[in-house]
């Protein structure tokens, strides 16, 4: 990918446990990298069941192509144009450590809670 096509700015956020002003632990999102240039490709969307008892949520797939950056994982999310995108796959393109393709979706947000 030509670096000139990476003309959109995104932020990468990491789910983390931090301390609040009183010293208590708080789950939340913290900035991993800000102002990262990316090429953005939107793909078709669909509706998925929101819960086992009913309801639906819209979900769309988007890819962000960025320069290689170590430490980027599927536990992160992308913030772009006022929306949040959950990172579902990190592809080190051709394993060259040159660029990363982040396959993301919108819809249900990762909370870091593995116990439901």
Per residue in 45-57, pLDDT (tens digit) is 665 555 555 555 5
What total number of domains does the chain contain? 1
Reference 61, options 85, 30, 93, 91; nearest CA is 85
* Closest by CA position to 62, among listed 80, 47, 43: 43
pLDDT digits (tens, 9 = 90+) for 17-61: 888 899 999 999 999 999 999 999 998 766 555 555 555 556 789
Residue 33 lies in a domain: yes
Residue 116 lies in a domain: no
Structural domain boundaries enclosing 37: 8-43+58-108
50 lies in some domain: no
Tell me if 2 is assigned to some domain. Answer: no
């Amino acid at each position: 990918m030509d670096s000139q096509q990476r003309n959109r700015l995104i932020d990468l956020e990491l789910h983390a446990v931090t301390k609040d002003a009183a010293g208590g632990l708080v789950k939340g999102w913290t900035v991993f990298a800000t102002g990262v240039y990316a090429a953005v490709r939107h793909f078709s969307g669909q509706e998925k069941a929101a819960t086992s008892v009913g309801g639906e949520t819209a979900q769309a797939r988007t890819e962000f192509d960025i320069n290689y950056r170590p430490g980027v994982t599927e536990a992160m999310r992308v913030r772009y144009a006022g929306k949040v995108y959950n990172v579902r796959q990190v592809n080190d393109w051709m394993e060259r450590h040159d660029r990363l393709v982040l396959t993301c979706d919108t819809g249900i947000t990762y909370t870091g809670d593995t116990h439901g």
